[in-house]
Chain A
């Protein structure tokens, strides 16, 4: 890559065309806002607000799942990781994809058949309502909080990259705008509006990634090997071909990578905002179809990111990417600039913003639903709250969460918070998945097992992170290398906390003296497989 072109690329990102970028983004906001307002008109009951009236088809829901799941981290982050670290970035995306098989084979349909609005509905079905619901709502809110904070912080970082806004005030304003837009979407549109935003965004994101992939391949005669060859040529690693093999990112600590891989593959099926998407379809069969669509879309997308990542390494170069504002995250935008100039860059930037907006909206409605349905209606009001009052609480919770997200997003600016997404997956895999699987497949599972597993999984994942190099002992740690209380050597807690979550579920159950209601256990088993009670009556 010639020096003038590099200079042009850097200039373009620092002073790229913010007016164009903002206009395209505003167009997205305008279109989605109209859709959200139209969708919000029909929100009458609690089921409308929380699940979009269960009226989405499997195909629509599959797009929405992809829209919920493919965050800015997976678009900008993975393309950047492949561009800079080569093969190891690709390893990351495979875990995200294979994880969907856990959801498809073990969780989606059975959850759809036994739950109403939240994960806690399923987990407390045959156990003691109070403690299990509170525990499930706690882990749900924890995962949502970590994920939301990561997304909001990402929004701040993206701004400097895409709009050329580098000062703290400007970034804070943009984080606030994202938060306020999110609140409006979720308040006005409920689950139906949120789902449509995700569908539109998934469509744009996948079309954008597909178009760029084809473009890169056209430039290289549809030969992946040619792309790899120019990526190697441009590589500054020693030896240059190292980017084609594993090791550049995780080679120094393979155990840490394995710990991450366990959390990625087991975490997805325990993410509350993913689980909630199974309730927006009318039947288990549509839930199955949603996951199948999601797998195709997400799998296709990750294959595109492989081409885009190496394409960015070939056409832009790892050094230029790292030097650009936004660092690793600038790989995809710089590639779009190199391919299609400012207009494509504007389009891709707008998609990246839309991505953040759609993902935070999905997480927020999940957290608000869990608080209103599990904590307010079931525990505080002991099931005596009217659906109207419940939805009112959910709406107020949305505003509170939105404000917290804005404050958090502004507060963590400049912090290295990349660990938050990995932590969200680790908590989902350690605290949620064991109880979900035990509830669905183990007849004798008990209240004590559920409560121990959920709190134990959550606490161990969080504590291990705090006592890891993420927080202290290394130059990149949150507290710098001057402070050292890192007694746990890995940055990913999954390898300990996930087995611990499963173990505590078993231990709590075998030591429990409380006998759970066998009728409810039988009812849950029958309903989970037949869909009785969860589906519209069979036509006669």
Chain B
């Protein structure tokens, strides 16, 4: 069973300020935010546009599209559809673009915690290891 518990521990050996400014973390953060912020803005605008139309333009919503199914029903079902589409889009984005990066960082952080080294020392070790190999 996994009972790993995140507790705020400033005692941690890892210098998180350094990690937070590392290129790898900044890349992960900006990938995440560049994806979720615009998408959030989009679905909120689309949802509130729909709500405003329902509230102030009910006669437009009553325009028949096919049979008795009117614009309001079509737009409502379109809200459901976009919710599903955004969900699948985000999952595929997160699997491809976020997870590999966050896994790499987590592996590195765990190694650092075990070794009790700081990020700059770790990169120095990495660099030397790389040099030694070449």
Binding site for B on A (CB under 8 A): 45, 47, 53-55, 87-88, 90-91, 94-95, 97-98, 100-102, 104-106, 109, 113-116, 121, 125-126, 223-225, 228-229, 232, 241, 244-247, 250-251, 254-255, 257-258, 261-262, 265, 282, 285, 288, 291-292, 295-296, 299, 302-303, 306, 441, 517-520, 522-527, 529-538
Q: State whether the Cβ of B58 lies closer than 8 Å to any Cβ in chain A.
A: yes
Q: Does B127 sit at the interface, judged by CB under 8 A?
A: no
- Given A94-B47, A228-B69, A265-B47, 10 extra CB contacts under 8 A: A55-B1, A87-B73, A95-B47, A105-B36, A105-B39, A225-B69, A296-B84, A299-B83, A299-B84, A522-B16
B120 an interface residue at 8 Å Cβ cutoff?
no
A406: min CB distance to chain B, Å: 34
Q: Which residue of chain B has its CB nearest to the CB of A251?
A: B58
Contact status A87-B72, CB under 8 Å:
yes
Residues B27-86 near A (CB distance < 8 A): 28-29, 32-33, 36, 39-40, 43-44, 47-48, 50-52, 54-56, 58-59, 61-62, 66-70, 72-73, 76-77, 79-80, 83-84, 86
The interface residues of chain A lying within 8 Å CB-to-CB of B107 are 538
Give the distance to chain A from B51, nearest Cβ to Cβ, in Å.
Answer: 4
A303: B residues at CB distance < 8 A: 77, 80
Contact yes or no, B83 A101, CB < 8 A: yes
B109 touches A54 (CB 8 A): no
B5 partner residues in chain A, CB cutoff 8 A: 47, 116, 534
Q: In the bound complex, do residue A98 and residue B47 qualify as a contact, i.e. CB atoms below 8 Å apart?
A: yes
Choose one: A87, A258, A517, A522; the contact of B52 (CB below 8 Å).
A258
Contact mask B1-38 → A, CB, 8 Å, 1/0? Answer: 11111111110101111011000010011001100100
Most buried by B among A55, A104, A121: A104
Closest 7 A/B residue pairs (Cβ): A225-B67, A254-B55, A245-B62, A522-B16, A246-B54, A522-B20, A523-B16
Judge whether A90 and B8 touch: CB under 8 Å.
Answer: no
Give Cα distance in the complex from A303 to B105, angstroms.
41
Residues of A within 8 A of B72 (CB): 87, 244-246
For A531, list chain B residues within 8 Å (CB).
102, 106
Main secondary structure of the interface of A (DSSP, over half): helix
B residues near A (Cβ < 8 Å) are: 1-10, 12, 14-17, 19-20, 25, 28-29, 32-33, 36, 39-40, 43-44, 47-48, 50-52, 54-56, 58-59, 61-62, 66-70, 72-73, 76-77, 79-80, 83-84, 86-88, 90-91, 94, 99, 102-103, 105-107, 109-110
Do B19 and A522 touch across chains, with their CB atoms under 8 A apart? yes
Q: A114 — nearest CB in chain B belongs to which residue?
A: B6
CB–CB A125/B8 < 8 A: yes
A-B contacts, 23 listed (Cβ < 8 Å): A45-B3, A54-B3, A87-B54, A100-B87, A106-B36, A106-B40, A125-B8, A245-B61, A245-B62, A245-B70, A246-B58, A258-B48, A258-B51, A258-B52, A282-B2, A285-B99, A295-B83, A296-B84, A520-B10, A526-B19, A529-B105, A530-B28, A530-B109
**For the complex, what is the distance from the CA of A302 to the CA of B2, rounded to whole Å?**
35
Known contacts A87-B72, A522-B17, A522-B20: A538-B7 contact under CB 8 Å: no
Collect the chain A residues with CB atoms within 8 Å of residue B40's CB.
101-102, 105-106
Looking at A251, A255, A261, A518, which has the most chain B CB atoms within 10 Å of its CB?
A261
| Cβ 8 A contact of B73, one of A53, A244, A526 | A244
Q: Which residues of the other chain, B, contact A246 by a CB distance below 8 angstroms? A: 54-55, 58, 61, 72
Residue of B nearest to A116 (CB): B5
Given the known inter-chain contacts A126-B8, A533-B4, please indicate yes or no for A526 contacting B83, CB distance below 8 A.
no
Nearest CB to that of A535 among chain B residues? B4
A247 CA to B70 CA, complexed, in Å: 14
Collect the chain A residues with CB atoms within 8 Å of residue B20's CB.
Answer: 522, 525-526
Report whether B10 and A536 are in contact in the complex, using a CB–CB cutoff of 8 Å.
no
Q: Which A residues are CB-close (under 8 A) to B6?
A: 113-116, 121, 527, 533-534
Q: Is the CB of A90 within 8 A of B76?
A: yes
Contacts of A258 in B (CB 8 A): 48, 51-52, 55
Question: Bound complex: CA of A91 vs CA of B72, how far in Å?
Answer: 9
Q: Which residues of A contact B88 (CB under 8 A)?
A: 292
Most buried by B among A441, A517, A523, A532: A532
* Selected contact of B56 from candidates A254, A262, A538, CB within 8 Å: A254
Q: Complex Cα distance A282/B83, Å? A: 26
Beta-carbon contact of B29 and A529 below 8 Å: yes
- Complex interface: chain B residues within 8 A of A527 (CB): 6
> How far, in angstroms, from A94 to B77 measured CA to CA in the complex?
9
